[in-house]
């Protein structure tokens, strides 16, 4: 069992009940084959209207398990709040790490039937369905950012994909783009160096235990 699997298993044993109830983590139908469903360019292309997969059962199970683990990982690192709070950089945030200052936040809140101004002021909270809808959209975005970040996304081990997607969720495309040496290490299959580059960043000291957990996972992935 890898460090990644051990970490996920530990989280699952302690938190899986709340995680499933809060974020729909056990629902494999939330996305359909997020890893293998790609555009001709090789980048992740989320389904707008998920249908029953034509992939093999084994492949579907593998992809569903990956997404479930990624959601557990993200919820552990982001937390879950029905009301507005300030993140580590002072941004008003809600749900599972949904930044109310980001572009498109007002439209995203409207799409789930919430009043942006009321939510931001703290006068209105979100329900579980609204939070899950925002979370699913953000996971889609993070997967897209992660798959575009490196030119060898398809070849990355699943734990590395999960770490990269987690970082994408946390940093966004602009923030992740600054990790140029980290990107080079991933494309070279040098995960020891990738872990070093993660530690050698301001981000590592800004996000608390999150970065330590992710680095610990990467350090255990054998380099190519």
Whether residue 224 lies inside any domain: the answer is: no
**Proportion of the chain above pLDDT 70, given as a percent:** 72
Whether residue 39 lies inside any domain: the answer is: yes
pLDDT of residue 11: 53
Mean pLDDT of 105-124: 98
pLDDT tens-digit profile of 10-65?
655 554 334 333 333 333 223 223 332 333 333 333 333 333 233 333 444 457 78
Whether residue 99 lies inside any domain: the answer is: yes
Whether residue 133 lies inside any domain: the answer is: yes
Structural domain boundaries enclosing 62: 3-219
Output the domain CATH number for residue 98: 1.10.530.40
Whether residue 195 lies inside any domain: the answer is: yes
Q: What are the DSSP calls for the chain, one per residue?
A: --HHHHHHHHHHHHHHHHHHHHH-TT-GGGSS-TTT-B-TTSSB---SS-----S-HHHHHHHHHHHHHHHHHHHHHH--EEEEEE-TTS-EEEETTEETTSTTHHHHHHHTT--HHHHHHTS----HHHHHHHHHHHHHHHHHHHHHH-TTGGGS-HHHHHHHHHHHHHHHHHHHTT-HHHHHHHHTT-HHHHHHHHHSSHHHHHSTHHHHHHHHHHHTSPP-
pLDDT of residue 6: 66
pLDDT of residue 7: 59
pLDDT of residue 196: 98
Whether residue 70 lies inside any domain: the answer is: yes
Mean pLDDT of 59-77: 80
pLDDT of residue 98: 98
Mean pLDDT of 64-78: 91
The residue among 56 and 138 whose pLDDT is bigger is 138
pLDDT of residue 42: 32
Number of domains in the chain: 1
pLDDT of residue 100: 98
């Amino acid at each position: 069992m890898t460090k990644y699997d051990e970490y996920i298993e530990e989280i699952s044993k302690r938190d899986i009940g709340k995680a499933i109830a809060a974020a729909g983590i056990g629902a494999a139908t939330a996305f359909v084959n997020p890893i293998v469903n790609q555009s001709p360019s090789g980048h992740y292309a989320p389904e707008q209207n998920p249908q029953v997969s034509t992939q093999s059962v084994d492949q579907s199970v593998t992809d569903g398990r990956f997404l479930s683990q990624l959601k557990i990982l993200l919820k552990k690192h982001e937390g879950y709040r029905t009301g507005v709070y300030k993140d580590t950089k002072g941004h008003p945030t809600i749900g599972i790490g949904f930044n109310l200052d980001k572009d498109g936040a007002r439209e995203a809140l409207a799409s789930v039937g919430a009043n942006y101004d009321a939510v931001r002021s703290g006068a209105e909270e979100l329900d579980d369905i609204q939070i899950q809808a925002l979370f699913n959209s953000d996971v889609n975005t993070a997967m897209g950012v992660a798959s575009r970040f490196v030119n060898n996304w398809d070849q990355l081990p699943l734990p590395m994909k999960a770490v990269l997607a987690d970082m994408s969720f946390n940093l966004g495309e602009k923030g992740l783009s600054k990790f140029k040496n980290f990107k080079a290490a991933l494309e070279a299959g040098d995960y020891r160096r990738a872990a070093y580059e993660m530690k050698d960043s301001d981000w590592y000291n800004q996000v608390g235990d999150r970065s330590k957990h992710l680095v610990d996972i990467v350090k255990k992935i054998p380099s190519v």
